[in-house]
Structure 1
Amino acid sequence: MLRFLVRRSLGALVILVIVSMITYALFFAIPADPARLYCGKICTPENLALIRHDMGFDKSWPLQYWDWLSAIFTGGTYNNVTCSAPCFGYSFDKKELVGHILADRFPTTLSLTVGSAVIFLIFGIGTGMLAAHKQGKALDKIASSASLIVSSMQIYVAGPLALVALVYSTDLLAQPNYVPFTQDPVGWFTGLLVPWIVLSLIWTANYTRMTRSSMVEQLSEDFVRTARAKGMSGTSVFMRYAWRGAMGTIVTVFGIDLGVLLGGAIITETTFSLHGLGELAIHSFNDSDLSLLVGVTVVAATLIVFFNIIVDAAYALIDPRIRLA
């Protein structure tokens, strides 16, 4: 297990370096000059050259990338601001270190992800198990049809509709807003309830369909029929064999989904004006803020790679037939 984790961690570092290099290269392929944006309306060639030098844009992009990568391990100084390792650069647009900005925005995305994940796991897996248990009956048909309809919806459509129905017209729920949990637990819960409902609604439908199909497949396996032939009760077979066999698929998909959500639920945060990593990624791209854009991209990629490693390591615990070499 230790050898597996070390090998996968080294491979993850290579992946993150490649992702950051591609982000740098794509940024410089965009026909935009960030230095000119910061120079203002009255911009002389001398001022423009000075700004480019301060931002490091007078160097080639490979040299700029090397300076950024080196700062992660050795730290750096930007705009007379000292940045200790690990340093992700300096946002000249926000006049702040990228690491501080990411640390400030991450709790919002974390709260949005964890709350919605709890909801869609409970309802999605539970509904999928009931549908599989009642395969072919009315409950199964209703759950399958409803999940297909809901999964076809988009957050940018469901979000405004939920705001109108639950907030603006009826005042049933509070206006979406992020309040730190340590500051006001009740305000934290009520402010994120509408985004949780909308985000979890679509994901619940996806997990309902996935859980049902996985359970139905497991129930048709030979070992399940053998267990039934030996006289085991339907409930024991369903929970001990079919459910355990279906967990592999669910855990795999959830590990990827959780990493993606933690990396920034862009549409959800934009729809509900939540200041998380997803919204930050949009603004950093629109403002041509290279350091901030690379920082958000690397954080998102790190979370996705990390949860993939966790999922792979969990396989051996879920399914004894799998052993990590």
Structure 2
Amino acid sequence: MLRFLIRRIVFGVVVLWIVTLGVFLLFFATSKDPAARFAGKSATADTLALVRHKLGLDQPLTVQYWHFLTRTLKGDLGYSFVTQSPVTDMIKSALPASLSLILGAAVIWLISGVVTGVLSATKARTLLDRGITAAVLVGISMPAFVVALTLAFLFANKIQIFPASGFVPLQQNPVQWFQHLVLPWLTLALLQSAIYTRLTRGSLLDVLGEDYIRTARAKGLPENKVIYRHGLRSALTPVLTQFGVDVGVLIGGTLVTETVFGLQGIGQLTVRSLTTGDLPVIMAVVLIASFFVVLANIIVDIVYSFLDPRVRLE
């Protein structure tokens, strides 16, 4: 188990190094004057000179990359010459809202998606299965802004159960933190759980047709034990793979939900940076998203080893 975990961590570190190299080459080596790109659209001559000095752009590319890599490892993600503030501080202020949104919604969509997927698979071709399939098709086809605006209209404006917008940090007031995030959680969960329902159903139906499942049934094992102990464990492998990718990618991809509910997370920070040409922030968002993708997949690989003993043997 320890060797398996070490291999996965080393592989993750290599992936992150490749990402840093690709980001550096994309933003530093593909332009004759990177300072003009980093300084923003309204940079003055003095600002350009400051950028060249601060980033060491007069040095060889290998030296520039070494400085870029060491700064990143120390947690220094650069300086925004547009907002005149460290990028690390901007990320720190936006990341709690995005993490709270995604992790809370992920718990909801994973549990609801797996439960409904198992129900659909075990009741295949029944009225319940057809009803779940129809609901899944509706969920997959619904645009995020429609779901978000509908929930905000019903539960924030009409019934007024939850706040319409804003974000309260967890450490400041846990109750208000929860209240402000219920509608954003439901928005993401309703969209994502439809995908997980379909994925769980298809995977479990495939597993229930395997020879070892027929052997377990022939030995007289109870059907619940066959489904949940033998079938579901193997069926969860592709579900967890999708889950690891989704959680990491959504760190910077929840713009619509953040905008409707005024969360001021990484998604909105990314759009503002793209609009103003704030490349240091865009680079930081790419690195942060890559880190969370790798971290989520390492966690998923560890869970694999408990679900499927064959993973440990490999």
TM-score range for the pair, normalised by the shorter chain length: 0.7 to 0.9
Structure 2 residue 198 is the aligned partner of structure 1 residue 209 = yes
Q: Which of 214, 224, 236 is matched with 2:213 structurally?
A: 224
Task: List per-residue Cα deviations over 1:222-259 (Å, max 9, x = no partner).
Answer: 22222222222222222122112212222222122222
Answer whether contact 1:25 1:61 (CA < 8 A) is retained: no
Take 1:257 and 1:102, find their aligned partners in 2: how far apart are those partners? Answer: 20
Structure 2 residue 162 is the aligned partner of structure 1 residue 158 = no
2:250 matched residue in structure 1: 261
1:192 matched residue in structure 2: 181
Q: Which of 109, 118, 130 is matched with 1:120 structurally?
A: 109
Q: Which runs of 5+ in 2 are unaligned?
A: none
Answer whether contact 1:263 1:301 (CA < 8 A) is retained: no
Take 1:314 and 1:36, find their aligned partners in 2: how far apart are those partners? Answer: 43
Higher relative contact order, chain-length normalized (CA < 8 Å, sep 6+): 2
Answer whether contact 1:109 1:264 (CA < 8 A) is retained: no
Question: How many Å apart are 1:200 and its aligned residue?
Answer: 0.4
Answer whether contact 2:273 2:282 (CA < 8 A) is retained: yes
Question: How many Å apart are 1:137 and its aligned residue?
Answer: 0.7
Gap change, CA 1:27 and 1:130, over 3 Å in 2: same
Partner SS state of residue 291, structure 1: helix
Structure 2 residue 267 is the aligned partner of structure 1 residue 278 = yes
Answer whether contact 1:176 1:193 (CA < 8 A) is retained: no
Take 1:324 and 1:97, find their aligned partners in 2: how far apart are those partners? Answer: 46
Q: Which of 35, 41, 45 is matched with 2:39 structurally?
A: 35
2:41 maps to a residue whose letter is L
Number of residue pairs aligned between Structure 1 and Structure 2: 309
Gap change, CA 1:247 and 1:35, over 3 Å in 2: closer
Take 2:49 and 2:230, find their aligned partners in 1: how far apart are those partners? Answer: 68
1:72 maps to a residue whose letter is T
Structure 2 residue 76 is the aligned partner of structure 1 residue 72 = no
1:16 matched residue in structure 2: 16
Structure 2 residue 129 is the aligned partner of structure 1 residue 140 = yes
Question: How many Å apart are 1:25 and its aligned residue?
Answer: 4.0
2:8 maps to a residue whose letter is R
Partner SS state of residue 87, structure 1: coil
Gap change, CA 1:134 and 1:94, over 3 Å in 2: same
Answer whether contact 1:24 1:61 (CA < 8 A) is retained: no
* Greater Cα offset, 57-66 or 228-237: 57-66
1:243 matched residue in structure 2: 232
- 1:91-106 matches, within 5 Å, as 91-106=80-95
Gap change, CA 1:310 and 1:276, over 3 Å in 2: same
Answer whether contact 1:176 1:195 (CA < 8 A) is retained: no
Task: List per-residue Cα deviations over 1:30-51 (Å, max 9, x = no partner).
Answer: 8974536343xxx5x5x35534
Answer whether contact 2:57 2:64 (CA < 8 A) is retained: no
* Greater Cα offset, 304-313 or 261-270: 261-270
Task: List per-residue Cα deviations over 1:117-165 (Å, max 9, x = no partner).
Answer: 1211221111111111211110001001110121112213322233233
Answer whether contact 2:147 2:187 (CA < 8 A) is retained: yes
* Greater Cα offset, 90-99 or 187-196: 90-99
Partner SS state of residue 311, structure 2: coil
CA RMSD of aligned residues (A): 2.6
Take 1:49 and 1:297, find their aligned partners in 2: how far apart are those partners? Answer: 24
| Sequence identity (%) | 38
1:109 maps to a residue whose letter is S
Gap change, CA 1:71 and 1:199, over 3 Å in 2: same
- 1:49-60 matches, within 5 Å, as 49-54=48-53, 56=55, 59=58
Take 1:2 and 1:96, find their aligned partners in 2: how far apart are those partners? Answer: 42
Answer whether contact 2:213 2:231 (CA < 8 A) is retained: yes
2:295 matched residue in structure 1: 306
Q: Which runs of 5+ in 1 are unaligned?
A: 74-84
Gap change, CA 1:69 and 1:306, over 3 Å in 2: same
Partner SS state of residue 70, structure 1: helix
Gap change, CA 1:35 and 1:261, over 3 Å in 2: closer
Answer whether contact 2:252 2:270 (CA < 8 A) is retained: no
1:89 matched residue in structure 2: 78
